[in-house]
């Protein structure tokens, strides 16, 4: 288990926007502001893909987004880049199975940063819990156009399977999730919905965030 109160993490995972500068057509800070106004509860900076920013440009954008998040009480997570996360004192780090080992990241980050780990098998899930993850990222649940090397979609059954195996830590579902299918994912046992395109490609990121938020008002979330 991670270092943070699971109830706190569960609350924060609900509407979890993930984005980098290549995921939006308007500037990312503009989209983030709208999404924050619409009620997102967590943000992950995931600067990936062809033309992604690096070095000082990446750090400057991260600082700007971090400031927006801090001003509105939305925790700020950095994807994969542990050095950047520590450098700017982000609220957390998310790593995949091909990134730095989660137990190492936990050691470097200390107890107070949120640590998320992507998992695709029950074995990986147990290992992530053991490594000190605060939450698991589970997906792709549905087909996604936002990740080139995404595995085949699992359906909400993957969430059910995690729960059936007695893994009770907070889980954020990811991959092809939107306001139309999010409810069944919550009902399968997910604590939160991680989305890229449902918000970044929406005609109104504000409205998209409002609709995702509303799913938690009448769902049987845990
Ligand atoms: N990991 C698994 S699917 C995915 C990531 C980062 C992309 C999710 O993007 P979208 O647009 O919400 O399907
Ligand atoms: Mg990764």
Task: Give residue 2's pLDDT.
Answer: 73
SS3 216: coil
Task: Check pLDDT > 60 for residue 220.
Answer: no
Report, as an integer, the average pLDDT of 177-181.
Answer: 98
pLDDT tier, 51 (very low <50, low <70, confident <90, very high otherwise): very high
- Does 73 carry a binding-site annotation? no
Q: Is 147 in the pocket of ligand 1 (CB under 6 A)?
A: yes
pLDDT tier, 222 (very low <50, low <70, confident <90, very high otherwise): low
What CATH number belongs to 6-214?
A: 3.20.20.70
Answer with the residue of higher pLDDT: 1 or 158: 158
pLDDT tens across 116-134, in order?
999 999 999 999 999 999 9
Average pLDDT, whole number, for the chain? Answer: 96
- Distance (angstroms) between ligand 2 centre and the Cα of 197 equals 17
Provide the residue ranges of all domains of the chain, joining segments of one domain with +. Answer: 6-214
pLDDT tens across 68-95, in order?
999 999 999 999 999 999 999 999 999 9
Task: Give residue 1's pLDDT.
Answer: 60
Strand partners, 92: 77, 114
pTM for this structure? 0.97
- Distance (angstroms) between ligand 2 centre and the Cα of 69 equals 22
Alpha helices (runs of H) in 133-204, residue ranges in sequence order: 157-164, 182-187, 197-200
Alpha helices (runs of H) in the chain, residue ranges in sequence order: 6-13, 28-38, 55-72, 82-87, 102-109, 122-131, 157-164, 182-187, 197-200, 205-214
Largest distance between two CA atoms of the chain: 44
Please state the atom number of ligand 1 nearest to the C-alpha of residue 139: 2
Q: Which residue in this structure is represented by tokens 């990134």?
A: 99
Could you give the residue numbers annotated as active site?
A: 46, 118, 147
CA distance linking residue 42 with residue 144, whole number of Å: 20
């Amino acid at each position: 288990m991670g270092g943070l109160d699971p109830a706190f993490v569960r609350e924060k995972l609900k509407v979890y926007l993930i984005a980098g500068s290549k995921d939006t057509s308007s500037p990312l800070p503009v989209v983030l502001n709208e999404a924050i106004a619409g009620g997102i509860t967590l943000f992950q900076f995931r600067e990936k893909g062809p033309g992604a920013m690096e070095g000082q440009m990446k750090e400057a954008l991260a600082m700007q987004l971090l400031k927006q998040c801090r001003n509105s009480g939305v925790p700020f997570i950095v994807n994969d880049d542990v050095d950047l996360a520590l450098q700017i004192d982000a609220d957390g780090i998310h790593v995949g199975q091909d990134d730095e080992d989660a137990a190492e990241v936990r050691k470097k980050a200390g107890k107070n940063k949120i640590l998320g780990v992507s998992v695709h098998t029950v074995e990986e899930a147990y290992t992530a819990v053991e490594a000190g993850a605060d939450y698991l990222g589970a997906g792709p649940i549905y087909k996604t156009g936002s990740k080139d090397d995404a595995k085949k979609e699992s359906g909400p059954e993957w969430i059910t399977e995690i729960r059936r195996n007695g893994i009770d830590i907070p889980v954020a579902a990811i991959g092809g999730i939107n306001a139309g299918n999010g409810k069944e994912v919550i009902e399968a046992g997910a604590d939160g919905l991680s989305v890229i395109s449902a918000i970044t490609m929406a005609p109104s990121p504000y409205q998209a965030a409002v609709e995702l938020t509303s799913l938690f008002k009448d769902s049987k979330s845990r």
